[in-house]
């Protein structure tokens, strides 16, 4: 996701997650709210939550739910801690509105307030909603992942593309504050005659996966990307032999491994994908954050001193990752990941691996304002793939890490502004490449 260092560090907190998952409690509450079964919901509340969930609130929720139409899909829950409570947010895609269901779950597993809030995201201007339809699919059998298939209207068959997540606990829309990178891509491409499959990430749906000592990039991303390609191939609207995958960020970094594991891709697109190792990006991001804090804080501010200590830990951890050997498999977590995760990626050369795939067509797109995946990575891809045919590369001077247009250094505040979308020129270039 947007902040790789914070994602890596926050993932470590999941290692201590208990079996009583607040996600399950929140999802049960959501299902009861959607079914208007308020009497069954009441025992799940804490005393204060029960008092606040009045008949008037129930009636207001019922009326709003009815006005939004049928439920199209329910996304994966996201959790953040505030004090002793877990704040759980679940996106619900209704026929006419995306809504965020949010509740607080206390240490006893009881609910506090329940809120239903309209999502600020709106359809991009290039989405022609009457030109495609969407339906739900499931990826996998052991780890079942809900997915959305966006299918153009018409006879077809059409080319198809699977969207593969960045690092961190992303959802099927690759939501980053007010932006939804994958939802923009899906609607833009489906409006132009491309079948698109996006799905919930395994570690978002099943965070306990990250607790396994044998957890690697295969469990995080690769295995499910291969399963998703098989699901896409099975759709009657998809043209045989024309299934592609698009890797965003870390998904792009892993795309050569995904293509090798699948063995049948018509091509792979890498969008703002790092070519350099994850630990290098973590150091770059920490150093950049340190420079920003140094410019905005008093030199004596204890918060600045605390971050310098944290930055030193990140730099030391990155150096240790570089030195890992198979004998270090049982090392303590580094950047919130255990030894097997880093050993699996040690020595991985994305461009070099791509060269071994027998000329699988590649498209590499990079926003020049992107960070920490930057033009350094674009140059590394270019150098590593030199002499290879069927490779198309393009960078966009005005685009940032999540393909939004702007000027200057991208800021988190930019991503919180509603109404921003993946730039239309990216849709144009993808459509042209997928149909060539």
For residues 102 and 119, the answer to whether their CB atoms sit within 8 Å is no
Tokens of 427: 């849709």
Q: What is the distance between the alpha carbons of residues 223 and 153, in angstroms, rounded to a whole number? A: 30
In the three-class reduction of DSSP (H, G, I as helix; E, B as strand; rest coil), residue 291 is classed as helix
**Segment 303-360, tens digit of pLDDT:** 888 888 989 999 999 999 999 999 998 888 999 899 999 999 999 999 999 999 988 9
> Beta-carbon neighbour count of residue 425 at 10 Å?
15
Q: What is the distance between the alpha carbons of residues 370 and 395, in angstroms, rounded to a whole number? A: 10
Which of these, 343, 341, 347, lies nearest to 215 by C-alpha position? Answer: 341
Q: What is the distance between the alpha carbons of residues 148 and 201, in angstroms, rounded to a whole number? A: 12
Distant-in-sequence, close-in-space partners of 66: CB < 8 Å, separation ≥ 6: none
Q: Determine the CATH number of domain 16-118.
A: 3.10.450.590
- Mean pLDDT throughout 254-265? 98
Is 90 exceeded by the pLDDT of residue 290? Answer: no
| Residue-level pLDDT at 298 | 84
> Beta-carbon neighbour count of residue 31 at 10 Å?
13
* Rg, Å, the chain Cα set: 22
| Residue-level pLDDT at 20 | 63
Strand spans (E) along 75-144: 78-82, 85-94, 98-105, 111-118, 132-139
For residues 227 and 140, the answer to whether their CB atoms sit within 8 Å is yes
| Residue-level pLDDT at 8 | 45
> Beta-carbon neighbour count of residue 363 at 10 Å?
22
pLDDT band per the 50, 70, 90 thresholds, residue 177: confident
| Residue-level pLDDT at 307 | 85
Global confidence as pTM: 0.83
In the three-class reduction of DSSP (H, G, I as helix; E, B as strand; rest coil), residue 66 is classed as helix
Q: What is the distance between the alpha carbons of residues 75 and 59, in angstroms, rounded to a whole number? A: 24
Q: How far apart are the first and last CA of the chain?
A: 30
Architecture of domain 129-277+348-434 in CATH? Answer: 3-Layer(aba) Sandwich (3.40)
Q: What is the distance between the alpha carbons of residues 113 and 45, in angstroms, rounded to a whole number? A: 8
Percent of the chain with pLDDT over 70: 95
Token look-up 């198979």 returns 326
| 259-292 per-residue burial string, b: 16 or more CB within 10 A, e: under 16 | bbebeebbbbbbbbbbbbbbbbbbbbbbeebbee
- Mean pLDDT throughout 388-412? 93
Tokens of 151: 């299918």
Q: Which stretch of DSSP H or E encloses residue 351?
A: helix 350-355
Q: What is the distance between the alpha carbons of residues 179 and 162, in angstroms, rounded to a whole number? A: 19
**Segment 77-99, tens digit of pLDDT:** 888 777 778 889 999 989 888 89
Q: What is the distance between the alpha carbons of residues 233 and 30, in angstroms, rounded to a whole number? A: 33
Q: What is the distance between the alpha carbons of residues 374 and 217, in angstroms, rounded to a whole number? A: 22
Is 60 exceeded by the pLDDT of residue 223? Answer: yes
- Mean pLDDT throughout 411-422? 86
Strand spans (E) along 154-203: 158-164, 175-176, 179-180, 195-199
**Segment 113-152, tens digit of pLDDT:** 898 988 888 899 999 999 999 999 999 999 999 999 999 9
């Amino acid at each position: 996701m947007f902040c790789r260092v914070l994602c890596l560090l926050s993932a470590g907190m999941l290692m201590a997650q208990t079996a009583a998952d607040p996600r399950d409690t929140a999802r049960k509450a959501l299902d009861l709210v959607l079914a208007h079964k308020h009497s069954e919901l009441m025992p799940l509340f804490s005393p204060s939550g029960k008092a606040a969930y009045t008949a008037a609130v129930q009636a207001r929720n019922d009326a709003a739910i009815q006005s939004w139409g049928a439920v199209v899909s329910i996304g994966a829950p996201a959790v953040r801690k505030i004090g002793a409570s877990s704040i759980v947010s679940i996106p619900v895609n209704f026929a006419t509105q995306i809504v965020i269901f949010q509740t607080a779950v206390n240490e006893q597993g009881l609910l506090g307030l329940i809120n239903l809030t309209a999502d600020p995201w709106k359809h991009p201007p290039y989405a022609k909603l009457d030109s495609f339809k969407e339906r739900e699919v499931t990826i996998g059998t052991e780890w079942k992942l809900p997915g959305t298939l966006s299918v153009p209207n018409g006879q077809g068959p059409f080319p198809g593309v699977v969207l593969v997540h960045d690092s961190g606990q992303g959802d099927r829309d690759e939501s980053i504050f007010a932006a939804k990178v994958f939802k923009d891509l899906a609607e833009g491409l489906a409006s132009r005659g491309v079948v698109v499959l996006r799905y919930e990430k395994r570690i978002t749906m099943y965070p306990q996966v990250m607790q396994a000592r044998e957890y690697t990039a295969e469990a995080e991303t690769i295995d499910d990307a291969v399963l998703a390609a098989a699901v896409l191939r099975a759709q009657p609207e998809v043209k045989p032999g024309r299934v592609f995958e698009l890797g965003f960020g870390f998904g792009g970094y892993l795309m050569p491994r995904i293509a090798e594991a699948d063995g049948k891709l018509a091509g792979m697109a890498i969008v703002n994908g790092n070519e350099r190792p994850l630990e290098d990006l973590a150091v770059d991001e920490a150093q950049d954050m340190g420079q920003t804090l140094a410019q905005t804080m008093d030199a004596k501010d204890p918060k600045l001193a605390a971050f310098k200590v944290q930055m030193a830990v990140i730099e030391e951890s990155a150096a240790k990752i570089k030195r890992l050997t198979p004998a270090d498999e049982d090392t303590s977590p580094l950047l919130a990941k255990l030894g097997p995760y880093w050993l699996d990626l040690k020595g991985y050369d994305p461009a070099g691996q791509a060269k071994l795939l027998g000329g699988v067509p590649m498209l590499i797109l990079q926003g020049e304002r992107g960070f920490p995946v930057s033009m350094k990575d674009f140059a590394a891809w270019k150098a590593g793939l030199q002499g290879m045919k069927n490779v198309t590369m393009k960078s966009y001077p005005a685009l940032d890490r999540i393909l939004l247009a702007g000027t200057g250094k991208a800021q988190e505040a930019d991503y919180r502004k509603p109404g921003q979308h993946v730039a239309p020129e990216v849709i144009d270039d993808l459509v042209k490449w997928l149909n060539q």
